[in-house]
């Protein structure tokens, strides 16, 4: 428990560094722009890649900053291009997903096993269970009516998201971005 508390403290300290705050803002901007190019298949199924910058923010800057990035991304995205009704539960889900990614990936070497674990937890508990619950409240449909369709979407997207995130994280690692971000003088 102490390690987890320290992890959040370290991450929160990242916001005191102006350069890292600017980096967090850059991740928000990239996620918002990527959010404009998502594919809305149905009222309940949407495919997009705005998860990448939010995950990278959580990995590079920690769960606290990742949570803030996710919240700002969700709110700004809705303000610029509203799709459906705004629902704070979905903002909470985005924040929770970033906390999970940051807790598992922050200050740790890039490893496929960790990426699969983080993405698996987010896919099952946040995207599938929690978001389906929020959508059942938001749209008035029964949970079990929405669940099968959303489960199929999550099964399809899980390997795609893992491969994309792992590839981008490895590219950042090869470009020495992690070492640069983690030093005091970026």
Domain 2-182 has CATH 2.120.10.30: no
- pTM beyond 0.95: the answer is no
Q: How many Å separate Cα 64 from the centre of its chain? A: 12
Q: Is the pLDDT of residue 141 over 80?
A: yes
Query: Measured between alpha carbons, how far is 129 from 37 in angstroms, rounded to an integer?
Result: 25
Q: Looking at 36-185, list the stretches that DSSP marks H as alpha helix, in order from N- to C-terminal side.
A: 51-61, 63-80, 88-105, 112-121, 131-139, 143-174, 177-182
- Tally the C-alpha atoms within 13 A of residue 153's C-alpha that lie toward its C-beta: 19
Average pLDDT over residues 165-176: 92
- What integer pLDDT is reported at residue 185 of this predicted model? 53
Picking from 80, 66, 3, 71, the residue whose alpha carbon sits closest to that of residue 35 is: 80
- What integer pLDDT is reported at residue 119 of this predicted model? 97
pLDDT tens across 43-68, in order?
Answer: 667 778 889 999 999 999 999 999 99
User: For the chain, what are the domain ranges?
Assistant: 2-182
């Amino acid at each position: 428990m102490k390690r987890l508390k320290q992890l959040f403290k370290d991450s929160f300290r990242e916001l005191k560094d102006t350069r890292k705050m600017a980096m967090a803002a850059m991740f928000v901007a990239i996620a918002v722009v990527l959010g404009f190019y998502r594919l809305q298949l149905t009222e309940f199924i949407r495919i997009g890649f705005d998860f990448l910058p939010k995950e990278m923010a959580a990995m590079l800057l920690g769960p606290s900053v990742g949570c803030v990035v996710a919240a700002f991304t969700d709110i700004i995205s809705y303000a610029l291009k509203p799709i459906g009704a705004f629902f704070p539960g979905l903002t909470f889900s985005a924040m929770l997903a970033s906390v999970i990614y940051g807790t598992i990936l922050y200050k740790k070497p890039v490893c496929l096993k960790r990426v699969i674990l983080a993405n698996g937890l987010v896919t099952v508990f946040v995207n599938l269970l929690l978001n389906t619950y929020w959508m059942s409240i938001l749209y008035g449909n029964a949970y079990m009516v929405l669940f099968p369709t959303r489960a199929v979407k999550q099964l399809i997207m899980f390997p795609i998201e893992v491969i994309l995130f792992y590839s981008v994280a490895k590219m950042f690692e090869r470009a020495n971005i992690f070492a640069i971000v983690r030093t005091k003088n970026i």
